[in-house]
Structure 1
């Protein structure tokens, strides 16, 4: 009996050891070209030991919550349900807001299956040290281990938390972990992508990348963990004179403005829909207006009832604002923003991956963030959801 128990213990241990390890790290707002500034020695070293892409294309709109969901589900926002950082279900009079924990943790908003759900269902323990959607209240839809988001949590504490998980006994240890840092996004918004403050943020995150690998080396896991660095979007410079007051154009129409600054969505009174559309069409200057069903197919932003009736997309760097938004911009300096056309290179993020499953010193062109989910499934040799938009054939060539 003792021999049988020992055999089973050894078998379970070997099975756990044979499973890959993946650490998915998000550097929010880290633009594709930030590594070209000569201030990222750690990331330069990592990319030469692995794979790096020219850029990582986000989905539209190129905003934080929609794209973190696209990365983790392999779906366009119109399909995974998180169509913006904040939006409304007009039929149920309910609102999703990225800074409201009650809505963010409500599983009803998340239509896609996150990779941790796919992995857990197929016998792989997962963990999240911050990632939008990881804190949902339904236990079967979140990772085994979850840290509740705390914006001011020290970066070293986050890294230590991940290392602690990787030192758990084999049967308890997660094999897929997410990790999140916001520095380049915060500084990009406040000071603009070409500022010295953003350069300092880039240096800080480069140090974070170096610490991750030094800590992995301390626990003898540097060469057994696949570490994937991604960003959800890029950043472009903003100027106060590039402002369009949409509410002023539509004065007297009693429209509901559901988003603003970059992508703007509008719900006019039903009997005024065409009239409002026609008025906006006549005033098109540095923006385009579309009925929801006419949004260009390449944006993949029409097939969802949560998207309001009218969608306004500005030229890169221009701001679509309400009266309140115009006044706020006059008093609060905004140096950079994102959310624009995801085909514009300023909106692209970055992608670097190093580990036992990846090729070495391999440089490729732009990748799509919706293809990361099927890539993860390939690494773990598990079955992906059948309704994803991502395609393995566009990305699997970066694996050994």
Structure 2
């Protein structure tokens, strides 16, 4: 009897997936664009006519709240998995695994592509399992070393790749024969993040970056018009986090305070993870850091505030440091590097408004001239699943009901 029931379940699932595939011929294309470090209020500076157009003809959220910590890789993965960093596994741009002694760093191509670190299922994996073609013109996690965990088509990250060339790559995918054409595509730009770190969020250089990225939206729209797909494409523009001003004069040397020979310090700036080889020293080091707690907070993982959803992962370390917004924590060696990061930073408390990013959307699936309040980035994955008419993973933290109201009524139902 049990085998008959399992067979019926399998037939039902296959039938459902087949129906999804047939329906996918009618679903719109969706391009998800990330403007790294694009703060929630950058579009209020009077230099973003294309964002203004989307606001009038699509959806604009007051802000996009990042997951904690408000760092690049963790939040890009949260956006495409619907999971908090502690659950999808990428809790920082640099991570130390005390079980394997491996170190993950965004500058280490081998580890960035190592599927071991990625515990969540990305949207392109979900789509691929259900017969929907996807593509990525850059996105953290899209280059994994396991073929079936990657998008159908993808580009290996090249930091200096020409910005318009990236758009041309997306357009070329949309010009493929219909049965080979991706329904979902990601696109990534670093400019506002890079300039924000160097010069600060209120600098002329960041204003120039904002204007340049806005112009790319216009270029994309024009090229979609040229291939006569503009009305069939959803364009969603997000950012992973915001940016706030920092100063090398607002610096706390955690290594000096901890005075611990068996400590390993990972990450710097807004957050720091401390691993202590001699576990008997944890309480002593914690006590030192607690007694000198000024412009930062020190936590044992189990005591990290619950609203951060960040206390249940062995990669967090034995102790965790969170800097006060605008301040930096680090080691003696890190302080010497502060001149390179004396403009702006992120990674702070994700409720701090400067850490919030943007959410704009326009296209056949979205309401017109619709404004909403703050959206959490973990809700984007189930939204994408609804648009693509695929079944989301069930272990996610995001909820469709927290975001589906931005869709046109006919798009809300599967």
TM-score, normalised relative to structure 2: 0.92
Partner of 1:129: 137
Aligned to 1:385, which of 370, 390, 393? 393
Q: Give yes or no for the alignment of 1:285 onto 2:294.
A: yes
Quote the Cα distance in structure 2 between the aligned partners of 1:252 and 1:165. Answer: 53
Mind listing any 5+ residue stretches in structure 2 that lack a counterpart? 1-19, 409-414
- Cα distance, 1:254 vs structure 2: 3.4
Q: What does the per-residue CA deviation read over 1:51-102, in whole Å, with 9 as the maximum and x for residues that have no partner? A: 0000000001100000000000000000000010010111111111111110
Quote the Cα distance in structure 2 between the aligned partners of 1:231 and 1:258. Answer: 25
Partner of 2:326: 317
Q: What does the per-residue CA deviation read over 1:118-165, in whole Å, with 9 as the maximum and x for residues that have no partner? A: 011111000000000000111111111010000000001000000000
Structure 1 counterpart SS, 2:68: coil
Aligned to 1:295, which of 287, 304, 307? 304
Quote the Cα distance in structure 1 between the aligned partners of 2:27 and 2:148. Answer: 21
Partner of 1:5: none
Q: Give yes or no for the alignment of 1:246 onto 2:254.
A: yes
Partner of 1:227: 235
What's the Cα RMSD here? 1.5
Quote the Cα distance in structure 1 between the aligned partners of 2:154 and 2:135. Answer: 6
Quote the Cα distance in structure 1 between the aligned partners of 2:194 and 2:374. Answer: 25
- Cα distance, 1:271 vs structure 2: 1.2
Aligned to 1:367, which of 362, 375, 380? 375
> Which aligned pairs between 1:172-321 and structure 2 lie closer than 5 A?
172-268=180-276, 269-321=278-330
Partner of 2:16: none
Asked if the contact 2:61/2:372 (under 8 Å) is kept, the reply is: yes
Quote the Cα distance in structure 1 between the aligned partners of 2:145 and 2:335. Answer: 37
Asked if the contact 1:118/1:385 (under 8 Å) is kept, the reply is: yes
Partner of 1:27: 35
Quote the Cα distance in structure 2 between the aligned partners of 1:16 and 1:214. Answer: 25
Aligned to 1:50, which of 58, 63, 87? 58
Partner of 1:90: 98
Quote the Cα distance in structure 1 between the aligned partners of 2:238 and 2:21. Answer: 31
User: How many equivalent pairs are there?
Assistant: 389
Asked if the contact 1:73/1:115 (under 8 Å) is kept, the reply is: yes
Quote the Cα distance in structure 2 between the aligned partners of 1:175 and 1:334. Answer: 41
Q: Give yes or no for the alignment of 1:163 onto 2:179.
A: no
Asked if the contact 1:225/1:355 (under 8 Å) is kept, the reply is: yes
Partner of 2:7: none
Asked if the contact 2:134/2:153 (under 8 Å) is kept, the reply is: yes
Mind listing any 5+ residue stretches in structure 1 that lack a counterpart? 1-11
Quote the Cα distance in structure 1 between the aligned partners of 2:28 and 2:249. Answer: 51
Quote the Cα distance in structure 2 between the aligned partners of 1:244 and 1:389. Answer: 34
Deviates more, 1:159-168 or 1:260-269: 260-269
- Cα distance, 1:111 vs structure 2: 0.1
Structure 1 counterpart SS, 2:100: coil
Structure 2 counterpart SS, 1:171: helix
> Which aligned pairs between 1:38-117 and structure 2 lie closer than 5 A?
38-117=46-125
- Cα distance, 1:333 vs structure 2: 4.9
- Cα distance, 1:306 vs structure 2: 1.4
Quote the Cα distance in structure 2 between the aligned partners of 1:19 and 1:198. Answer: 37
Structure 1 counterpart SS, 2:314: coil
TM-score, normalised relative to structure 1: 0.95
Q: What does the per-residue CA deviation read over 1:352-390, in whole Å, with 9 as the maximum and x for residues that have no partner? A: 000000000000000000000000111122110000000
Quote the Cα distance in structure 1 between the aligned partners of 2:43 and 2:166. Answer: 23
